[in-house]
Amino acid sequence: MAKNYVRFQKDKQIDWAKFTEGKVYPLGLGDLDTRKFLEFSKTNDFNPGSESYKLSEVKLLSPISSPCQIICQGANYRQHLIESGLDPDDKSYNLFFTKSDASLTSPVGEVTRPKHVKLLDYEIELGLVFGKSIDSFTEVNSGNISEYVAAIFMANDVSARDIQLPQLQWYKGKSYRTFLPAGPVLAVLEPGDFELLNSLELTLLVNDRVRQHDTISNLVFKPEETITELSSFCNISPGDVLLTGTPSGCALRAPGKMIQKIAGLLSERKKWELFVKGQSKRSQYLQPGDVIHSFIRTADRRIDLGDQFLKVVQGS
C-alpha cells in the first residue's frame, strides 16, 4: 500500500514526515530534496516516534523540490480535447511542454496573479515522480513502470492564458512564481499500487463550486506509453516530474468553428485581441479573492493525495 509523506516547516525548520490519519509524524531527516528523500526511502523503513502535529500546526511545503525538470502533457483527457475543439479519436500525437521549477509553491497558501495577466486559469493534474534515470530509449509497460515511477502527487498547472496563447509562450505563461502548487502528499508507491491509478478521481472547486472532475482512466495517453515516448528524446533524472494533463472544466474555451474561420482572415494582432476580449467575458477565470480547493483520491481512500487550499491574490 502507498506510503504517504509530507514536507513541512515548523519553527523555521524543514523536515519530512509520515502522514497518517490526519497527523504529521516528523522523521528527523532535515531538508532533504525530493531525490535524496526517495533514495533514502528505498533502503529505510521509516518508524517515526510518538511526536506528532496536526496539519494546522505546521506549514505544508511542496514535496517536489527544485532544481528538477517539470515535463507536462497537454489536452490529455477525452472531454478536455472535445471542449478544446479537438477530436479525441483523431489525436495522433502526445503534446509535451515544460514549466520552470521557479513556479513550484506550497499546496496551502496563495497563487499570485501577475499584474499584467487578465486570464488566469487552473488545471488540476496528477503528477508522477521519477525514481530512476532514463538516458536512452526504454520500453515502459505495466510490468516495469514501478521501476521508473517512484511516487505520485497532486499539482495545479496554473496558466496565464493571455500570455500562453497570443504570445505562443507556453513556458512563460505557465511558469510565473506560484504557478505550480504541489502536494501536500507525496505517495511513495509499491508495485501493486499502480493498478489503482485508473481509479483515481480528480476534483477541483473554485469558491466551493465544482469546476473539474474526472478519473485517470480517461487519459488519452497513459503513463506507460508517455514515458516510453519521452525516453526517445528526453533524459530523465530521479526527482524529475511528469504532469499528466488536466480534465475538462478549465476557464479557457476554444472559439467556435465559424469564429475560428473568420479569425483566420484577420491579422495575428487583431485575432488575438479579439480572443482576449472574448475570453475576458468568461466569469470562470480566476480573480483575486477566489479560493481553489482540489483533491485526488480513490473512492476507498487507498490512495489519497490530500487537499490543496489556495487563495488567489493580485500581484503588485
Contacts of 297 (CB under 8 A, 6+ apart): 200, 201, 303, 304, 305
Is the pLDDT score of 259 beyond 70?
no
Angle at 214 between CA 209 and CA 219, to 5 degrees: 150
Is the pLDDT score of 44 beyond 80?
no
Is the pLDDT score of 115 beyond 80?
yes
Q: Which amino acid is at 150?
A: A
Give the pLDDT score at 145. Answer: 96
Is the pLDDT score of 258 beyond 60?
no
- Our CA dihedral for 181, 276, 173, 203, rounded to 10 degrees, sits at 30
Report how far residue 151's alpha carbon sits from residue 3's, in angstroms, rounded to the nearest whole number: 9
Is the pLDDT score of 91 beyond 90?
no
Q: What integer is the mean pLDDT of 14-41?
A: 94
205 — pLDDT class (breaks 50, 70, 90): very high
**Share above pLDDT 90 across residues of the chain, in percent, rounded to a whole number:** 82
Give the pLDDT score at 254. Answer: 75
Is the pLDDT score of 66 beyond 70?
yes
- The whole-chain average pLDDT of the chain stands at 93
pLDDT, greater one: 102 or 268: 102
Q: Look up the pTM and report it.
A: 0.95
Give the pLDDT score at 207. Answer: 98
